[in-house]
Amino acid sequence: MVNILLIVIVLLVAAFLVLQFVKKRQSQQVEETVEVDDKTYTLEMMTAFIKKRLDEITKINLYDIGLSEEELKRRKQKKYELKKALKGCTYGDVNDKKYVKELIYDLLYREYGVDETNVSRAIPFDIPSLLTAQDKFDITLYMYKNEFGYEAMAEIIKKYNLDELKYVSGESKPCYVITPEEIDQIYEKENFALTFTDKLNVVVQRIYQHYKGYSSIDEIRDMNIDGISGGVSGLPESFLSQVAQTDGDYLDQIVEHKVPRACDSIWIMFHGKSIRLAFLSFGTEAELKRVCQNIYKYNNPGQLSDTNGFKINEMKDGSRVVVVRPSMSETWAFFVRKFDVKRATLEQIIRFPGKEDAIDLLKYLVKGARILSLTGEQGCRKNHNAYGND
């Protein structure tokens, strides 16, 4: 009798402990308590939190937390969708990117405690004089995107005539470039009234682009432009390090004249014009390298290595991407060409006087199934697909 009583007591204690353990796991918050200080709401701290939190969500063992069958099925599906989105957004999938950004927004707002009083600690929205040219551009592009969608970049360029030749200091010839001073003027003229949601969305985009996105070009790449490239001009890090060891005076001259580095090189192609975005930069060669290593990965084309120093592939949206790396090239670089065939027309492509006769001739040559040879430099608007669709 005593033995039976002891067994019953042991079973009751064990059942109680198991029940307490299950309840604790169910109610347990995966994230740790955020200790608030002056650096809590910096972009670096919030990025670290998002990386850790998403890693916890994707790696948690759902079978250990005592879920019902229906809840287990729902949580497994949600976990699968997140893992799929985290993988797909690196291929340029805008839907997966939107899903991940919405989750980051919720994590920052609901768990990290970002609100109207502290969101400006990440980016000083309320003090325009402290905003960098990139901050101002990110805000401008976000506000225009709300109104014009993926035509936002084109609208900014057209409205402020940013695709015109201009002289810049240190250059003897005019060039296509968008300077930080122009971005400052645009931001001042626009005088945006940002809501808390707008500010947090800009912060979310900045975190996303350094976590899963394509750094400073992430939003621009999605726009309806002809193409974008990075690392294709400027001095490579290998050259700068060599100069630093041999000729310190020459390195000082380079720094003094602010000679662009390869990681400062960002160019877009807009209506056949190659325009340098002088106000944007990848910041470091490591960041440029990260972008190059991710931007070509759609459909697993193989490894970009020292022995195979280039890759040609397509992105999820059909864009063609070419990536090169040392020692085949002097620095890491990529070229993305976007083909907007649906919107291309002969009238849009051919613009010289007397174009009507040239357009009629091309139409009859195509209808007559004649063999055509189209030649010209890159960006001169040769597009045989547009002709074939007429």
Give yes or no: residues 300 and 180 share one domain: yes
Q: Residue 47: inside a domain, yes or no?
A: no
Q: Where are the alpha helices (DSSP H) in 272-354?
A: 285-295, 346-349
Residue 46: the pLDDT is 94
Residue 2: the pLDDT is 63
SS3 267: strand
Residue 171: the pLDDT is 75
Q: How many CA atoms lie within 13 A of 252 on its CB side?
A: 3
- pLDDT tens readout for residues 240-257: 666 655 655 555 555 555
Give yes or no: residues 195 and 309 share one domain: yes
Give yes or no: residues 274 and 383 share one domain: no
The yes-or-no verdict on residue 31 having pLDDT over 50 is: no
The yes-or-no verdict on residue 135 having pLDDT over 60 is: yes
Domain boundary among 294, 311, 337: 337
Residue 314: the pLDDT is 92
- Torsion 281-213-105-35 (CA) sign: negative
Q: Residue 383: inside a domain, yes or no?
A: yes
Residue 327: the pLDDT is 84
Give yes or no: residues 355 and 222 share one domain: no
Q: What is the mean pLDDT of residues 159-184?
A: 90
Q: In this structure, are residues 272 and 283 in contact, taking their beta carbons and an 8 Å threshold?
A: no
The yes-or-no verdict on residue 288 having pLDDT over 60 is: yes
Task: Sort strands 320-324 and 273-277 into parallel, antiparallel or unpaired.
Answer: unpaired
Q: Residue 27: inside a domain, yes or no?
A: no
Total Cβ atoms within 10 A of residue 76: 13
Residue 248: the pLDDT is 56
Measured between its terminal Cα atoms, the distance across the chain in Å is 96
Give yes or no: residues 171 and 302 share one domain: yes
Q: How much is the CA Rg of the chain, to the nearest whole Å?
A: 27
Q: Residue 12: inside a domain, yes or no?
A: no
Residue 255: the pLDDT is 56
The yes-or-no verdict on residue 145 having pLDDT over 50 is: yes
The yes-or-no verdict on residue 117 having pLDDT over 50 is: yes
Q: What does the alpha-carbon distance between residue 130 and residue 152 come to, in Å, rounded to a whole number?
A: 25
Please state, for a pLDDT cut of 90, what percent of the chain lies above it. Answer: 51
Residue 330: the pLDDT is 87
Q: In this structure, are residues 169 and 80 in contact, taking their beta carbons and an 8 Å threshold?
A: no
Q: In this structure, are residues 111 and 53 in contact, taking their beta carbons and an 8 Å threshold?
A: yes
Confidence of residue 382 (pLDDT cuts 50, 70, 90): low
Give yes or no: residues 217 and 361 share one domain: no
Q: Which of 268, 265, 267 is nearest to 226 (CA)?
A: 268
Q: Residue 62: inside a domain, yes or no?
A: no
φ, ψ (nearest 5 deg) of residue 380: -90, 10
Confidence of residue 317 (pLDDT cuts 50, 70, 90): confident
CA distances from residue 234 to 92, 140, 231, 264, 349 in whole angstroms, order as listed: 26, 27, 7, 7, 31
Give yes or no: residues 139 and 232 share one domain: yes
Residue 386: the pLDDT is 43
- What tokens were used for 24? 């604790």
Give yes or no: residues 139 and 177 share one domain: yes
Strand partners of residue 30: none
Domain boundary among 337, 358, 375: 337
Domain boundary among 320, 337, 354: 337
Give yes or no: residues 136 and 205 share one domain: yes
**Segment 359-365 long-range contacts (CB within 8 Å, at least 24 positions apart):** 362/387, 362/390, 363/387, 363/390
**Segment 123-131 long-range contacts (CB within 8 Å, at least 24 positions apart):** 123/43, 123/199, 123/202, 123/203, 123/206, 125/194, 125/199, 125/202, 128/187, 128/188, 131/187
Residue 185: left (phi > 0), alpha (psi -120 to 50), or beta?
alpha
Q: What is the mean pLDDT of residues 297-303?
A: 91
Q: What is the mean pLDDT of residues 16-20?
A: 63
The yes-or-no verdict on residue 131 having pLDDT over 80 is: yes
Give yes or no: residues 173 and 239 share one domain: yes
Task: Specify the residue for token string 């063609």.
Answer: 320
Give yes or no: residues 265 and 365 share one domain: no
Confidence of residue 370 (pLDDT cuts 50, 70, 90): confident
Residue 28: the pLDDT is 44
Give yes or no: residues 256 and 282 share one domain: yes
Number of domains in the chain: 2
Total Cβ atoms within 10 A of residue 180: 16
Residue 32: the pLDDT is 45
Q: In this structure, are residues 232 and 219 in contact, taking their beta carbons and an 8 Å threshold?
A: no
Q: Which domain holds residue 297?
A: 123-337
Q: In this structure, are residues 257 and 250 in contact, taking their beta carbons and an 8 Å threshold?
A: no
Q: What does the alpha-carbon distance between residue 224 and residue 226 come to, in Å, rounded to a whole number?
A: 7
Please state, for a pLDDT cut of 70, what percent of the chain lies above it. Answer: 80
Task: Specify the residue for token string 């604790």.
Answer: 24
Q: What is the mean pLDDT of residues 288-310?
A: 92
The yes-or-no verdict on residue 149 having pLDDT over 70 is: yes
Residue 387: the pLDDT is 43
Task: Sort strands 333-337 and 320-324 into parallel, antiparallel or unpaired.
Answer: antiparallel
This prediction has a pTM of 0.79
SS3 95: helix
Q: What is the mean pLDDT of residues 13-33?
A: 54
The yes-or-no verdict on residue 199 having pLDDT over 70 is: yes
Average pLDDT, the chain: 84
Task: Sort strands 227-230 and 273-277 into parallel, antiparallel or unpaired.
Answer: unpaired
Confidence of residue 385 (pLDDT cuts 50, 70, 90): very low
Q: Residue 218: inside a domain, yes or no?
A: yes
Q: Residue 317: inside a domain, yes or no?
A: yes
Q: Residue 44: inside a domain, yes or no?
A: no
- What tokens were used for 187? 């931001």
